[in-house]
Amino acid sequence: MTKDESIKEKSNYLRGSIKEELSQNTAKFNPEDSKLLKFHGVYEQDNRDSRQERIAKKQEKEYIFMIRTKLPGGMLTSDQYIELDDISNTYTNKTLRITTRQTIQFHGIIKGNLHKTLNEINKKLITTYGGCGDVVRNVMAPPIADIDPSYPCDLIKIATEISNYFLPKSKAYFEIWVDDEKVDLASEAEPIYGKTYLPRKFKIAIGTEDDNSVDLFTQDVGLIAIVKSGKLTGFDVLVGGGLGHNHNKPETYPRLASMLGFVKLENLITILETIVTTQRDFGGRENRKHARMKYLIDDNGLEWFKKEVEKRSKIKLEKKVSNGNFKIKDYLGWHKQKDGNWYLGIFIENGRISDQSKRKTKSGLREIITRFKSNVRFTPQQNIILTDIKEDDKANIDKLLEKYNFFMPSKNLSNLRRNSMACVALPTCGLALAESERALPGILDKLEEMGHGDIEVSLRMSGCPNSCSRPPVSEIGIIGTSANKYNLYLGGAFEGNRLNIKIKDNVEGETLAIEIGNIIDKYKKERKANEKLGDFYQRIGI
């Protein structure tokens, strides 16, 4: 086994010496505990902006921590959101970050504030347990599936049930961060995960053919809800998706999930557990770069995987029901709820909730949510939805959006920016090879100046090939290779069910807008009516 596997096995079910390390007057944890922290929803990082200067001065890195919550379907109450906002003002870099998996990340926390921050998050009945690590991560679902009249079933409720079922059973998290009570290890076990948990992270999402905002084909397991006569009957099950890879290592690659078959609603949890435990028992533990379920399926074949799941579960998967006609929703603007109230989708550029010189997103959201008690949802596109708004309050909220200069589709939000996403990257992410969140707005500014703001195209940027912003399925993808250099990709599907293809290596950051502008120019001149950019380039040949 790899060193990571040994650390998990010897950790006393994710305890390690984290509790003891918290009491030490140091800026970081030992390497073993740093890996275990991920299972608790915590990443040890350092400020990459100050790294070289501190090295030159022979100083220790400026260690900081990221905390990621776990919010199935991206749901929060108004009180919970305000509490998280308070926490960000007290312990972090005073921003909140919406992730592409519908959760919240806090950045810039120092070790001395780590326990206080996690403890306060849990007091509001929000967990970070399993937000990271080799377990089932946050379960995604359309964020309005329980309130929008066009959805016949509550997919968020199902996502929550799945999330709760796959939470680690170890009490280490609560012992360390919540109530400080020790647990008798003899009575503790992990019936699903075992002592070594999963070989790598595991991602599950629920969606529909009419709403693939969660990017079902990029998940370890994607569940397509099947509704007949207004009733949810079950799910078509996709398996083996994953976008992370390494540059210049063809043995690692992005992969779209494959269709496994249809499972009835009453058998869903059994099938999911069987898929997870099959990956647990057969997934590669000798090489973490080859440990995701996509490699297990490719190494052994989809038919082998299906037979193994059916044998273990004693459930025969039926023929798929869905027809493959997927659509995307971004939920922006005003929409009526089933109960007569309204929900409002608000664009948050790259998910960063902060106050800038011209745009006061953080203060504006706080005032709106405090005054009107609107509950909150986060979208897979890193945006925010405010729910349960009364008809009489809509006009006042619109005025506040204008006061704080929010992006609004009818005023100052272009189609190009509306369909863009970027990962965090520098300065906090330890894996980043290049800028992303801080670079994409400037690229979009230039493209809008060129007259391309009206184009409806999915454009995604990532600072490294781990692809947290899911660029391999975008129509135009940008992935960092080194400082200020990027590979450029073309031809994915707007609907998220086709991989794109690399067209250029190591493009300088300053020329990205020109390269993309040329791509859009050709598309504008030669496209057919209603033809998407990705479809156009697939047709003419990339």
What does residue 349 show for φ and ψ, rounded to 5 degrees?
-60, 120
Is 48 annotated in the active site? no
Q: What is the pLDDT of residues 345-401, one digit of tens each?
A: 999 999 999 999 999 999 999 999 999 999 999 999 999 999 999 999 999 999 999
Q: What is the pLDDT of residues 481-532, one digit of tens each?
A: 999 999 999 999 999 999 999 999 999 999 999 999 999 999 999 999 999 9
Confidence of residue 410 (pLDDT cuts 50, 70, 90): confident
Q: Give me the sign of the Cα torsion angle 508, 509, 514, 519.
A: positive
Domain residue ranges of the chain, discontinuous segments joined by +: 198-329, 333-413, 416-540
CATH of 333-413 given 3.40.640.10, 3.30.565.10, 2.60.40.420, 3.90.480.10: 3.90.480.10
What the block records as the tokens of 22 is 């918290």
CATH of 416-540 given 1.20.59.10, 3.40.50.1000, 3.40.190.10, 3.30.413.10: 3.30.413.10
Is 203 annotated in the active site? yes
3-state SS, residue 290: helix
Is 292 annotated in the active site? no
Q: Are the beta carbons of 134 and 197 closer than 8 angstroms?
A: yes
Catalytic residue among 101, 329, 468, 498: 468
Read off the amino acid at residue 108. Answer: G
Confidence of residue 185 (pLDDT cuts 50, 70, 90): low
Strand partners, 462: 479
Is 362 annotated in the active site? no
Catalytic residue among 15, 28, 137, 532: 137
Is 423 annotated in the active site? yes
Is 527 annotated in the active site? no
Tell me, what DSSP letter sits at residue 75?
A: E
Angle (CA) 252-258-261 rounded to 5° is 155
Does a cis peptide bond (omega within 30 degrees of 0) precede residue 191?
A: no
CA distance 160 to 148: 18
- Do the domains spanning 333-413 and 416-540 agree at the CATH topology level? no
Instruction: Give this prediction's pTM.
Output: 0.97
Catalytic residue among 97, 111, 201, 498: 201
Catalytic residue among 38, 417, 464, 470: 464
Q: What is the pLDDT of residues 67-79, one digit of tens each?
A: 999 999 999 999 9
